[in-house]
Amino acid sequence: MTMEQSTALAPASRAVQLLGTDLSEKNLKLHLEGLSGVDAVGLEARAAALATRSIKTSSKVWALDTIIRLIDLTTLEGADTPGKVQSLVAKAINPDPSDPTTPRVAAVCVYGDLVADAVEALGAAHGSGGPDGIAVAAVATAFPSGRASLAVKLADTAEAVAAGADEIDMVIDRGAFLAGNYGKVFEQIVKIKDACRRPDGTSAHLKVILETGELNTYDNVKKASWLSILAGADFIKTSTGKVQPAATLPVTLLMLQVVRDWYRLTGEKIGVKPAGGIRSSKDAVRYLVTVAETAGEDWLDPHLFRFGASSLLNDVLLQRQKLQTGHYSGADYLTID
């Protein structure tokens, strides 16, 4: 154990900046264990208080459109087919065919082997960073369990990037994290980040999934968030959506606090993505409030905040139609997904 702890780690620039050039597992562990504990009662009370804000009329219109712009429209099923991906993409480009003013979603999120299908289906609509461009995100690294060798994970990532993925959603090795083997988790993230590089020198964005439902405590979520950011994450993401509980408001609030602290420390903005379990507009609006009040309104942007969701979009569209027409809408007036 002590031998392991003194192992030198890959010199990820953020970690070197914060922990010094003699980066070792021991240093990392000391830093993570030195983080202040999370006041669970206070955190949950704060999240509950933020969830009581009432958003009405013009603010609600703005909130609903913002939610759509922040969605990573997701399909992650074993039964996904190229046809399913095409219909997902069609919905991403034109969420509500009855209203062309509906904004587009931020990205579509699929398994790595379907990236090429998504890119092809998007055609001219494909693009990350543009105002109307829709990015392609791929889950990688033996999603959702993360139980595979590093070589397999790297190959998984490299293939998705080569196929045209703009964003990689990787899962951390929860087993290693819970066993206290922070160095292993750190190294893996650094290497996956490396595998996100494209031949032209640019790099796919890396979202690191903590799978907070398996980390058991808020303290662990906080440690894993710091660890992921130090290792080079562009985004930290709550969950795979395959484990209950998935995204919760307190966990997202905590991750936003870490991101805010990192911004204050270094001036660098890291993104946050809650995923799984956010199905209603009402829930999503609560997340927007939490983002604005914690990290700041700058974060209400697809580059810094995303919802990983599928059924959420239809609920937002129902609310949007209600606000536009003045009467309640129904599922018959939406596309099925």
Partner 1 sequence: MNSHLAVPKTYKLYIGGAFPRSESGRTFEVADRKGRFLANAAKASRKDARDAVVAARAAVAGWSSATAYNRGQVLYRIAELLEGRREQFVAELRAAGGLTQSKANQEVDAAIDVWIWYAGWADKYLQVVGNGNAVSGPYFNISTPEPTGVVAIIAPQGELAAGGGLLGLASVLAPVLVSGNTAVLVANEAAPLPAISLAEVLATSDVPGGVVNILTGSAAEIAPWLASHSDVNGLDLAGAGELEWVDLQISAAETLKRVLPPETGVPAPSIERIRFFTETKTVWHTKAII
> Which ranges constitute the DSSP H helices of 10-145?
13-19, 25-33, 40-50, 57-69, 82-93, 115-122
184 membership: H or E segment, kind and range: helix 182-195
Question: Does 280 contact partner 1 by CB under 8 A?
Answer: no
Among 333, 335, 336, 337, binds partner 1 (CB under 8 A): 333
The minimum distance between CB 46 and partner 1, in angstroms, equals: 25
Among 272, 327, 336, 337, binds partner 1 (CB under 8 A): 327
Residue 305 bridge partners (DSSP) = 272
Binding mask 102-131 for partner 1 (x = CB under 8 A): ------------------------------
Residues annotated as catalytic (active site), given as ranges:
169, 237, 273
Binding mask 305-324 for partner 1 (x = CB under 8 A): ----------------x---
The minimum distance between CB 98 and partner 1, in angstroms, equals: 11
Q: Please give the structure tokens belonging to residue 253.
A: 């609030």
Question: Does 328 contact partner 1 by CB under 8 A?
Answer: yes
Edge-to-edge strands, sheet with 307-309:
271-273, 235-237, 205-209, 167-171, 135-140, 107-111, 71-74, 307-309
Contact (CB, 8 A) for 133 and 127: yes
Coil/strand/helix, residue 74: strand
Among 198, 330, 335, 337, binds partner 1 (CB under 8 A): 330
Q: By C-beta, is 171 or 318 nearer to partner 1? A: 318
Q: By C-beta, is 55 or 155 nearer to partner 1? A: 55
Q: By C-beta, is 16 or 61 nearer to partner 1? A: 61
- For helices 57-69 and 281-294, angle between their N-to-C axes, nearest 10 degrees: 90
Residues making contact with partner 1 (CB under 8 A): 321, 326-333
